Each structure stands twice: as C-alpha cells, then as structure tokens.
Structure 1
C-alpha cells in the first residue's frame, strides 16, 4: 500500500498561519495540490505569494461560517484541480471564557467558528468524494480522508477554557459520527488532538 499523497488534492482550512499553514506547506512539498483556505486574504498572500496557474498551490479567502462560502470553496478547488481527496479542518480559535457569567457568549462564538464550519464542509466534501468514486469505475482503494484538528482540552478541564473544551469535544463526537457514516463509502475520518501550540489564537489568549 502506498502512503504517497503526490497528485492528490487537499483542502486545508485555517491555513494562513500556525498548524494549518504548516500542514498545507508539507502537503504541497510532498507533491499534493493544496487549496489553502482562511478568512485572512492578506495573510494568505503574504505567506504564499501570488497564485500561479501552473502551481500546485491555490488559496481561497472567505468566512466558512457561511454556507455559500463553503460551496464556493469546494467549487474553486474543483475548478483548479478537478477534484478533492483530502480535507483538513484546521480552522479553530481559542478564546478565554468566564464559566460563571451567563452573558458570556464565547461558547456560541466557538461553536460557530470551530465546529459548524468543519461539519458542514466535511459533509459537502464527502458528497464530492463519493461522486468521484462513482464516476471512477477503476477505484478500489479509499476514496478520501477527512482530518479534524482538535485539542486535548476536549478531555482535560480548565475553567477558563470551558467554551473551547466544549467545542473541541463536540468536534471529536462529530468525527466519530462521520467516521461511522462514511466508512461504507471508503472515506476515513480522524481527529488529531493537539496540546499547547503557540499559535496566533494562543498568543492572543495569553496577552
């Protein structure tokens, strides 16, 4: 069995900085076509340069909390590379919570920012992967892989990270549900739980 991703197409969200950017660059270096997606277009341009038609790198800027933006991201990826084989849901945010303040809205914020876009994008990408498998009569191996970037905060409690912990735990449960639902279609769904990484959101939280 080959573990090469050369020639495969990946969408990586949260890809203008931190872990998402590092994963996208590693995929590109390994020969994959990569769509770097993030809300910060200026940062994408600064990190990746101008898009070249002959390159295996593209970027897409938009707010993935919007369903139309998700559809546009998938369309842009297919237009550029004809399909999609890998999705990395790397867009996540860490925000401190006051666990005893009923007016604190960080849980709403993080569910909208970190959970729902990952679930909705996974659903849309999975549908495309299944269609690609139906169109390719010679396909016998896995049709695709979906990877969710989670956190050990899903299992380890810190009161000031309550919303982040809940959103991370919810993403892990979504991963389990999607993995069972998509296994018959030969699509893998996995979650990677990170510890403390000095990302942009972590720097903001620690200020």
Structure 2
C-alpha cells in the first residue's frame, strides 16, 4: 500500500470515528441487518446496548422472546437500569409468556398487543428513565428491538410510522436505539426502512468469526469489516 493510500485510509477511519461520536452526542438510530444466526445478532445487540460497567438506562423491546431473555441478554443490570416491553403478535400472544423465568420478576415488564400500545409503552419507559436520572446524559439511554421480523406482517405505512415514532422518541432523549432485522442487506424491507435510520450495521459470519460493517449516512462511507 502506498503512503497516499495509507493516509486516505487513516483519514477515513478518523472521519468514521468522529461521525460515530457525533451520533452518540446527539442521539441516533441504527438498523442492524444480516441473515446470520440469532446468537450473532444477540452479540451485536449486547455491544450496542453498552458496557454494563457504565451507567446506562436500557430498554429491550422483545418481540419474539420471553422477558426472561432479558436476564440472559443483559446479565447483571439492576432493576432501575433495565425495562422490558414484551410485544405479543398473533398466535404468539398465548405462547409467549406461558411460563416466565423466575429472574424476570426482577425486571419491570410491560406487555403490549398492538403497535399503538407498543409506541406508548416505549415513550412511557423513556420518560420514567428521564425522571429517575433527573435528566438523561447523552447516550445514557440505550434501546434495542430484538427482532423486527414479527412486525413485518403490518402494512408498510403502519410499520414505517411506528419506527418513525420509536426513533424520534429515542433521538429526542439523546439516546441510541438499534433495531434488529434478520434479513440480507439487499432485502426490499431494508431499502424501505433505512431512510428512518442514521446508519446501518451489517452482520456476516466468516471463517474468522462474526463480523460487522458500519455504514453511516454522514459520512457516506462504510467502515471496514470488523469483529463483532
């Protein structure tokens, strides 16, 4: 690699790091995609929800998992630092939650059955976090939707409006929200929804293990493939 190429690469890295820091300062929404195993999406989600050694207010929107999943997902997060909104869809309404993990009693859980109540539950949780923290710091609020797949049966416009509300609520609190969509990068639904987000995180699995590539709209330049 020539000296000029190295300087260009270094400049690209600096621009990417600066853009990522800017997103954390002002609030941001990321769409996480990739036709990879659930465990890879879970690992990426845990990283996006932040290091447990740092002060964070975490909200998990569980669309295809029992609230007990949150315990595994977040580990030792305290009661005041973690809330779960469990969204039940269609035939899953009776199946999900038929038996809850005992540990889930230590987590505040709200259950919703439609997108309107889901949006309200997210808004209420963010407000409660803000009150408890006496004002949230930048990037203190972390919100994750563990899978958008169960919501894809909704009309495109209805889903678009819900995500517009979700991302707006979190941005207004200077938080970071990521939405997991376990489909390939070139899927139609990704093209439909990505304008709502500040960037996209693409996942893949290689012989070296799970990898991620960040594509932030500002600057319009993807990162290299990095370990998850």
Taking structure 2 as the reference length, what is the TM-score of the superposition? 0.46
User: With CA pairs under 8 Å and 6+ residues apart, which has the higher RCO, 1 or 2?
Assistant: 2
Normalized per residue, which structure has more helix? Answer: 1
Normalized per residue, which structure has more strand? Answer: 2
